[in-house]
Amino acid sequence: MKKLANKTAIVTGASSGIGRETAKLFASEGAGVIVVARRAAALDSLVGEIAAAGGRAVALAGDVRDEDCAKRAVALARERFGGLDIAFNNAGSLGAQGSVTEMPLDGWRDTLDSNLTSAFLAAKHQIPAMLERGAGASLIFTSSFVGYSVGFPGMAAYAAAKAGLVGLMRTLAAEYGAAGLRVNALLPGGTDTEMGRAAASTPEQKAFVENLHAMKRLASPVEIARSALYLACDDSSFTTGTTLFADGGVS
Ligand code: NDP
């Protein structure tokens, strides 16, 4: 039996990296997946790849900072797959970087919008649909080792947003546990994606990041996707309000 048979999932940030691998993995485990990001062509190619492998996916090109995008994703899950069981709210970007003493307020706000407010908007519209399914629904936020496990010079806004996701997650887990909705945060370590490469673009920076990890390497995105699958499926049926570290031993 596939782990996500008869389930419907929303995966944001699905045009590349961790989200793309997770969408493919969820689909291969039987879920119908709504894949969300801004780059429409990348989503279309992902939907084609999933279909060619026998899976089901629908693209939604949109910006997770817009509430309408959150609404449309849930509406599509209902229309195309009959409801919503799993949400992997994973879209994010490094945003404004540098010293807080130099950081413009709009850069700070936009970074929080991309990484934290986007998760609030998503959860706001996903939760009512997920509660209709009864027990077995799973809401997951992609946080980060940055900000939670280690301070990273120049990444104050991103770190604050990612740590904020853990507070949001714990609150929602407490509010909806009795209704059977599980809410967890996944905290990847450095991962070999577009973002991971941008954050460590020189050999020195890459070596610095790798050395933060006990395993002395970056993760591949599919390694993080497997942890997302664990949180999404019934293997984690008594797990809620937790931080799952897939970080090669940073903490
Ligand atoms: P990628 O850059 O490969 O993926 C980021 C994804 O987020 C893309 O699909 C991008 O799509 C999407 N995205 C960004 N901003 C928006 C937006 N405003 N609206 C819609 N989609 C958006 O990086 P990762 O796969 O590494 O990142 C995935 C998550 O993992 C992020 O939340 C990141 O913070 C987190 N993370 C990453 C780590 C790493 O080392 N790579 C470590 C720890 C956490 P598009 O541009 O098409 O909109």
Dihedral, CA atoms, 123, 97, 198, 248, nearest 10 degrees? -60
Under CATH, what is the fold of the domain 8-191+221-246? Answer: Rossmann fold (3.40.50)
Q: What is the pLDDT of residues 82-141, one digit of tens each?
A: 999 999 999 999 999 999 999 999 999 999 999 999 999 999 999 999 999 988 999 999
Tell me what pLDDT residue 134 has.
Answer: 81
Cβ neighbours of 51 (radius 10 Å): 12
Tell me what pLDDT residue 135 has.
Answer: 86
Structure tokens given for 119 = 């998760």
Structure tokens given for 103 = 């950081």
Give, using CA atoms, the residue closest to atom 15 of ligand 1.
92
Q: What Cα–Cα distance (Å) separates residue 183 from each residue in 173, 221, 240, 243?
A: 5, 21, 5, 10
Q: What is the pLDDT of residues 7-40, one digit of tens each?
A: 999 999 999 999 999 999 999 999 999 999 999 9
- Which bin fits 97, alpha (ψ -120 to 50), beta or left (φ > 0)? beta
Q: What is the pLDDT of residues 223-240, one digit of tens each?
A: 999 999 999 999 999 999
The DSSP-derived string for 138-151 is EEEEE--HHHHTB-
Beta strands in 79-200 (DSSP E): 86-89, 138-142, 182-188
- On the question of pLDDT at 251 being above 80, the answer is no
- Give distance in angstroms: CA of 4 to centre of ligand 1: 23
Task: Give the torsion sign (CA, 166, 150, 186, 72).
Answer: positive
- On the question of pLDDT at 147 being above 90, the answer is no
Active site residue 148: no
Rounded to an integer, what distance in angstroms lies between the CA atom of residue 193 and that of residue 41?
Answer: 18
Q: What is the pLDDT of residues 185-202, one digit of tens each?
A: 999 999 999 999 999 999
- Give distance in angstroms: CA of 195 to centre of ligand 1: 7
Pocket of ligand 1 (CB under 6 A): 13-19, 37-39, 42, 63-65, 90-93, 114, 142, 144-145, 188, 190-191, 193-196, 221
